């Protein structure tokens, strides 16, 4: 079975983790970076085979029922992440023995960071009467990047005209997840506070594009399911002769 793990962009990594893996319980993770002197495709193959990541959905369901963890692998350029569900898994033993990565982290406590993004899994702040907290993926601009971005827009707010400012704010490249939208709106408020103090024209919130556009995740097309099972059947038949 072909396992797709190479994604096109940081936005694709964020989308895959936030929209798919977190809601299926892949809260624990290990990140790493492939050195320049190593072939990334060979590292992919080694990790996927070593930790038995490329398994069918049937096998994943069997493992969940048996109390075992499942794993997923994603690589963008030379950065990679292995995500795990709860339960025993070979990678946990490997890391305790000094294997890949430093520590297994829980994204509910330690956000995943990549290219200025911070991805975590959080409880909602509102609990219905008689109900329980719900959980959701939380994607925002990480604190260090956002602090630098605030300092930059605060400076240009007093030195650029309204047209140039509008273009700068509209061009901020982060995908428009709800927390990111709130951060961007705060930046516009900051800009307008600075410009109001100097009697300059204010910037309308409409300069921001606040609609998130889904991105293509993988470079290669999915292997048709029918081809996969046809190959399994053919192998079984040939092997039984």
pLDDT values of the chain reduced to their tens digit, one per residue, 241 residues: 578 889 989 999 999 999 999 989 999 999 999 999 999 999 999 999 888 898 888 888 998 888 889 999 999 999 999 999 988 888 777 655 445 545 789 999 999 999 999 999 987 766 566 666 677 899 999 999 999 999 999 999 988 898 999 999 999 999 999 999 999 999 999 999 999 998 899 999 999 988 888 888 887 654 544 344 445 434 444 444 4
The DSSP H or E segment spanning 188 is helix 178-197
pLDDT digits (tens, 9 = 90+) for 72-89: 999 999 999 999 998 888
Structure tokens at 215: 């991105």
pLDDT digits (tens, 9 = 90+) for 168-204: 999 999 999 999 999 999 999 999 999 999 889 999 9
Query: What's the pLDDT at 132?
Result: 64
Residue 120 has a CB neighbour count (10 Å cut-off) of 21
Where residue 86 falls (left for φ over 0; alpha for ψ -120 to 50; beta otherwise) is beta
Domain ranges of the chain: 10-123+132-140+215-232, 142-207
Query: What's the pLDDT at 1?
Result: 54
- Whole-angstrom distance, CA of residue 188 vs CA of residue 197: 14
Q: Strands 112-114 and 135-141, how do they pair?
A: unpaired
With beta carbons less than 8 A apart as the criterion, state whether 162 and 203 touch.
Answer: yes
């Amino acid at each position: 079975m072909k396992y797709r793990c190479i994604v096109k962009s940081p936005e694709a990594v964020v989308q895959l983790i936030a929209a798919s893996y977190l809601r299926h319980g892949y809260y624990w993770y290990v990140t790493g970076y492939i050195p320049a002197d190593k072939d990334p495709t060979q590292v992919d193959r080694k990790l996927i085979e070593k930790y038995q990541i490329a398994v069918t959905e049937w096998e994943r369901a069997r493992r969940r029922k048996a109390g075992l963890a499942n794993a997923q692998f994603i690589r963008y350029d030379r950065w990679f992440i292995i995500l795990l569900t709860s339960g025993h898994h070979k990678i946990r033993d490997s890391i305790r023995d000094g294997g890949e990565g430093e520590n297994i982290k829980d994204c509910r406590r330690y956000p995943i960071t990549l290219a200025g993004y911070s991805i975590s899994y959080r409880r909602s702040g509102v609990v219905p009467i008689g109900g329980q907290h719900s959980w959701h993926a939380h994607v925002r601009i990480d604190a260090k990047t956002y602090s630098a971005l605030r300092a930059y827009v605060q400076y240009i707010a007093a030195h650029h005209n309204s047209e140039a400012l509008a273009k700068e704010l509209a061009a901020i490249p982060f995908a428009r997840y709800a927390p990111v939208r709130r951060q961007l709106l705060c930046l516009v408020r900051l800009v307008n506070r600075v410009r109001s103090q100097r009697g300059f024209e204010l910037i309308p919130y409409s300069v921001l594009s606040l609609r998130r556009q889904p991105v293509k995740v993988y470079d290669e097309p999915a292997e048709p399911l029918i081809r996969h099972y046809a190959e399994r059947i053919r192998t079984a038949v040939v092997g039984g002769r």
